[in-house]
Amino acid sequence: MKREDLDYNAAEFAPEEDNVFGRIAGRYDRLCDIFSFGIHRQWKSKMARAMAREQASFILDVASGTGDIPLRYLRQKKRNPDARLLVSDICPEMLEVAQGKLEGKDDGLRFKVLNAYDMASIEDNSVDLYSISFAMKICDRELVLKEAFRVLKPGGTFFCLEASQIPIRFIHNAYLAYMDWCMPIIGRLAAEGDASAYQYLLKGVHDFPNQRELAEEIRRYGFMDVSFESLTFGITALHRAVKPPFAGVGTP
């Protein structure tokens, strides 16, 4: 898929054209801590706690990166002791880091290279809980949502943690100005001169829909009971949605 085809891709990122995550995999965790002053850990823990409240036996974490969401979900797993968790990413280097962090922590863990747009090896209506964090802004949302809807069981739950908007416009603009100013400097230093990672993420942060717009998009692709919680004044938001219990296979 070429970059110009990605209408719903806020960052205009095409992994086939730029293996940026492959290049920064070993430094990704450090970059997250630096860019967010460590707050990403709280956001991810919040998502994992919300996921653990769902009854689920097959959990699919998509675009898992270095495995932060699965790592935190496992800490809550006593609530779903028999759950199987598939950790996936399109980038083998990122998945390798995740594997290093998670391997041996749980018998129900599996790892697989998967493209969120086309997960042919995952059957229709087979997943109880689908999660994606900080990847939606660099993906084509239409393709991600359609594929999430296909693989989820009727009644299954969708979670998305992503950059969002602070509702007070001038504060949001000040936040964006800060990101525009500091991300290139910190990003260049921490990524040892590789500018592309923060450029995609920055573009994604600028052009991603706000909480309500994303909720509306999720609804448009067939989900029901769409809700969201703004985190840290709306810098990020956690969306939850349900595939309708009587939905057909694949098509909303």
Question: Which residues contact ligand SAM by CB under 6 A?
Answer: 15, 21, 32, 62-65, 68-69, 89-91, 94, 115-117, 133-135, 138-139
| Min dist. Cβ of residue 169 to ligand SAM (A) | 26
Q: Which CB atom, from 68 or from 128, has the smaller least distance to ligand SAM?
A: 68
Q: Which CB atom, from 229 or from 244, has the smaller least distance to ligand SAM?
A: 229
Rounded CA-CA distance 86/230 in Å is 27
Please say whether the beta carbons of 241 and 228 come within 8 A.
no
| Min dist. Cβ of residue 46 to ligand SAM (A) | 12
Please say whether the beta carbons of 105 and 167 come within 8 A.
no
Nearest residue to ligand SAM by CB is: 65
| Residue 177 CB contacts under 8 Å (≥ 6 apart), including other chains | none
Please say whether the beta carbons of 64 and 87 come within 8 A.
yes
Q: Which CB atom, from 184 or from 244, has the smaller least distance to ligand SAM?
A: 184
The neighbouring-strand residues paired with 94 are none
| Min dist. Cβ of residue 135 to ligand SAM (A) | 4
Q: Which CB atom, from 90 or from 183, has the smaller least distance to ligand SAM?
A: 90
Q: Are strands 224-231 and 109-113 parallel, antiparallel or unpaired?
A: unpaired
